Structure 1
Amino acid sequence: MTENSVKGSEATTPTRTTDTRTGRWILVAAGMFAVAWGGNEFTPLLVMYRLEHGFSAITVDTFLFAYVIGIVPALLVCGPLSDRLGRRPVMLPATAVAAAGSILIAIGADTAAILFFGRVLSGVALGIGMAVGGSWIKELSARTGSSAGARRAAMSLTAGFALGAGVAGVLAQWGPWPTHLAYLVHVGICVVTGLGMISVPETRPAVPSADRRRLVDDLKIPSAGHKRFLLVVVPLAPWVFGAASVAYAVLPSLMADHSGGHPIALSALMSVIALGSGFAIQAVGRRIDTPDAARGALVALTILVVGMVLAAWAASVLTIVAALIAAAVLGCGYGMALVSGLQEVQRIAGPDDLAGLTAVFYSLTYLGFAVPAILSALTEAWPGVVTYPAIFTAGAVIAAVCWAFVRTRSTHHLPAEASKIS
């Protein structure tokens, strides 16, 4: 975070003491938690839709990827739009959109088109939350003199991802109305957190109409061409949800027939372990990361190499213990990659394109959710030739190549203000 961005944030706050006392960033974090809950509550239920509702593995994995179709446009448009109009008017509808997505998924359990569209809405809500909510939290945190905005945003998302998956899996495995109850719980969370955000003050006033450029010009993100973003952040970003999707989508699917008769519960447990591990490492990730080198990214990629090797082992032996160990390590890799990527982004971005560059970063991270569908297609096209252990081993090699690439550029193209960032 640069001194200019802090000054810009402080210039928009009427009083510093009020925000220090109330910690209003927590209310925005709750909104991000809610949309993340909606984005990931579907994941442990993939097994249910495949086994009990007759959808093929590729179709189910396409549902998983469907919300990326909503996420990416929402990220790329709403981030810059909030730089133009302010954070509040763009972020406040996010929880309502998330609730609408859950309602559609709940009523469309046997209809592919309805499930797909519901997932897209969940993605739109999550995209808004990630791009706009993260920037809002960063600016609210800066008002209190804190530089923990990236960590707070990352942990809010990860907590929502983990608890959404865990609760949905438990309710679907043992609760009544397995295709409905989890989504109704989420709707209630959205209502509460959406109302809570209404009281949060604006941190970036709207640009006066006379001073506004064309929207298409606002959608341009100059800092996306920064060499450090291209050479350090871009090689790291797809691994964020690439690792996560292996941990709580691909491995649980492989374990469905080796789950002791509780495939949905095991899927939920793997999700919670992966994301819980990611949450835990994010709490210390800011201490590992440094503005003088790409240490955070390198630690993340190191963990990911180990995680992919463990995933190959788990896919070979198909035991619950192996699957849980692999999920935990991959979750650590996910969490470290997310928080270190956000730290790099917040150093690189100027005050006028923070939300926009955050949106570009998150868009790249979500390319990782194409992994399950791609792997399903490959293994079905060449059964017995392309196997999951071989694919995960190849993934470990690719992660190692990314590590070597980032290592050679670790201290290159540092932002001018990097030395001022704690």
Structure 2
Amino acid sequence: MAGWPAAALLAVAFAIAMIGTTLPTPLYPIYQQAFGFGELLTTIVFATYAIGVVAALLLMGSWSDHLGRRPMLRAGLVLAAASAIVFVLADSTAWLFPGRVLSGLSAGIFTGTATAALVDVAPRGRKARAGLIAAGVNMGGLGLGPVLAGVLAQYAPGPLRLPYLVHLGLVVVAAIAVECVAEPVGRAHRPRLRPQRLAVPAEVRPVFVRAAIAGFAGFAVLGLFTAVSPAFLDSVLHNTNRAVVGALVLAVFAASTAGQVASARIGDRPALLAGCAGLIAGMLLVGSSLPTASLPLLVTGAIVAGLGQGMGFRAGLTSVTVTVAGPADRRGEIISTYFVVLYIGIAIPVIGEGAAASAFGLVPAGMAFAAGVAVLAAIALALLTRRG
């Protein structure tokens, strides 16, 4: 099977794999009560996901070019199933760390391989559209994970197991979808399975710095909402409905997808400028929502920041890999370095927020986090407006 039917099957498998990576988001308060840990450890558990993603991107980022797309997609689904099984068996905090690492490895494999496979099978002349579809499916899957887990945790029994059992069933569906698609890439006679180097050529660095600062700030926002938003809703806004947590996170990722679509239409530099402005405005709204305990302000800030993140992310990636006249044979190094910066952004600031929350409380920590992201976005905005 090839063409758009094959792309649709791959999109289903891609979305299912990404759903598993954000399933724990609305469940973190339940884990805290069941296993007896606080906000700092929650953010550390969340951040171990980034370790898995970065490891997969660096160690296996180019393997599908040599081994074929389907073998790597199968490996990603095996890791997704293994992560779900670990969470089903979890009876202490120690189980959460390997579960998150396995989930990150799965996401790292799928992010590159499924995107490449979607572009491979798309009809000629529709490759750019396939890339945009892949970006939307990626963000859509990430947003649907908390919705699925939140609804099941709120309205069904076994909140710490049922979401993962359901995801295991979905992984079977994804595996069938992958097997129905013809392999678009031939296996190399002598595969060269080397880790991906990290480097940024000198001629790309000025643009890379601006894009990386904006991307770092944007991914820090994604980390905040996928790791800490349950605590905000529970402790600050006194809303314990897990389905609401899922809806809030979905709003962020849906807005990110919309921002990516918009950025493709207005150009890289305007999109980066608008993305930075959106991050600043969104974080000001999020920071204001905490002392006032306002859910409408929080939701509005989430949507505005999500739009900014999506615009800045896609425009930044395009600017450092396509727009700048850098060496084509080093594009893989540039992309890998860019994503490593982004996933550091999704992990380290969130851990800092968790530490600050443990020391000073959720409201001051959340306001400081929002201010820090706004400052980073303002720095990127200033660099963009002052470029020669």
Query: What is the TM-score when the length of structure 2 is the normalising length?
Result: 0.88
Give the aligned partner of residue 200 of structure 1.
181
Give the aligned partner of residue 280 of structure 2.
305
Kindly provide the amino acid, as one letter, of the partner of residue 42 in structure 1. P
Tell me the CA shift for residue 362 of structure 1.
Answer: 2.8
Kindly provide the amino acid, as one letter, of the partner of residue 273 in structure 2. L
Q: Alignment partner for residue 57 of structure 1, among 39, 43, 54?
A: 39
Residue 159 of structure 2: SS of its match in structure 1?
Answer: coil
Give the aligned partner of residue 182 of structure 1.
163
2: CA distance, partners of 1:112 / 1:384 = 22
With over 3 angstroms needed to count, the CA separation of the structure-2 counterparts of 1:397 and 1:193, relative to structure 1, is same
**Higher helix share goes to which structure?**
2
Is 2:41–2:354's contact at 8 Å kept on the other side of the alignment?
Answer: no
Kindly provide the amino acid, as one letter, of the partner of residue 376 in structure 1. G
Tell me the CA shift for residue 157 of structure 1.
Answer: 0.9
Is 1:61–1:372's contact at 8 Å kept on the other side of the alignment?
Answer: yes
Per-residue CA shift, 1:72-124, capped at 9, x if unaligned?
1101122122233333322222112111101111220x311211101110110
Give the aligned partner of residue 367 of structure 1.
344
Tell me the CA shift for residue 129 of structure 1.
Answer: 0.7
Per-residue CA shift, 1:4-50, capped at 9, x if unaligned?
xxxxxxxxxxxxxx744x44222222222112101111112122222
2: CA distance, partners of 1:66 / 1:279 = 24
Q: Alignment partner for residue 262 of structure 1, among 240, 255, 265?
A: 240
Tell me the CA shift for residue 205 of structure 1.
Answer: 3.0
Is 1:44–1:268's contact at 8 Å kept on the other side of the alignment?
Answer: yes
1: CA distance, partners of 2:104 / 2:174 = 18
With over 3 angstroms needed to count, the CA separation of the structure-2 counterparts of 1:150 and 1:388, relative to structure 1, is same
1: CA distance, partners of 2:110 / 2:332 = 11
Where do 5+ consecutive residues of structure 2 fail to align?
none
Give the aligned partner of residue 36 of structure 1.
18
Per-residue CA shift, 1:281-322, capped at 9, x if unaligned?
33333113x2xx522222211110111111110122112222
Give the aligned partner of residue 106 of structure 1.
88
Query: What is the TM-score when the length of structure 1 is the normalising length?
Result: 0.82
Tell me the CA shift for residue 350 of structure 1.
Answer: 7.3
Give the aligned partner of residue 319 of structure 1.
294
Is 1:71–1:127's contact at 8 Å kept on the other side of the alignment?
Answer: yes
Give the aligned partner of residue 10 of structure 1.
none
Give the aligned partner of residue 236 of structure 1.
214
Residue 300 of structure 1: SS of its match in structure 2?
Answer: helix
2: CA distance, partners of 1:386 / 1:101 = 34
Kindly provide the amino acid, as one letter, of the partner of residue 352 in structure 2. I
Are 1:400 and 2:369 matched, yes or no? no
Give the aligned partner of residue 171 of structure 1.
152
Give the aligned partner of residue 388 of structure 1.
366
Kindly provide the amino acid, as one letter, of the partner of residue 209 in structure 2. L
1: CA distance, partners of 2:386 / 2:119 = 30
Give the aligned partner of residue 122 of structure 1.
103
2: CA distance, partners of 1:260 / 1:52 = 19
With over 3 angstroms needed to count, the CA separation of the structure-2 counterparts of 1:221 and 1:368, relative to structure 1, is closer
Residue 47 of structure 2: SS of its match in structure 1?
Answer: helix
Where do 5+ consecutive residues of structure 1 fail to align?
1-17, 413-422
Residue 143 of structure 1: SS of its match in structure 2?
Answer: coil
With over 3 angstroms needed to count, the CA separation of the structure-2 counterparts of 1:136 and 1:334, relative to structure 1, is same
Alignment RMSD (CA, Å)? 2.8
Residue 148 of structure 1: SS of its match in structure 2?
Answer: helix
Residue 127 of structure 2: SS of its match in structure 1?
Answer: coil
Kindly provide the amino acid, as one letter, of the partner of residue 95 in structure 2. I
Deviates more, 1:28-37 or 1:275-284: 275-284
With over 3 angstroms needed to count, the CA separation of the structure-2 counterparts of 1:201 and 1:362, relative to structure 1, is farther
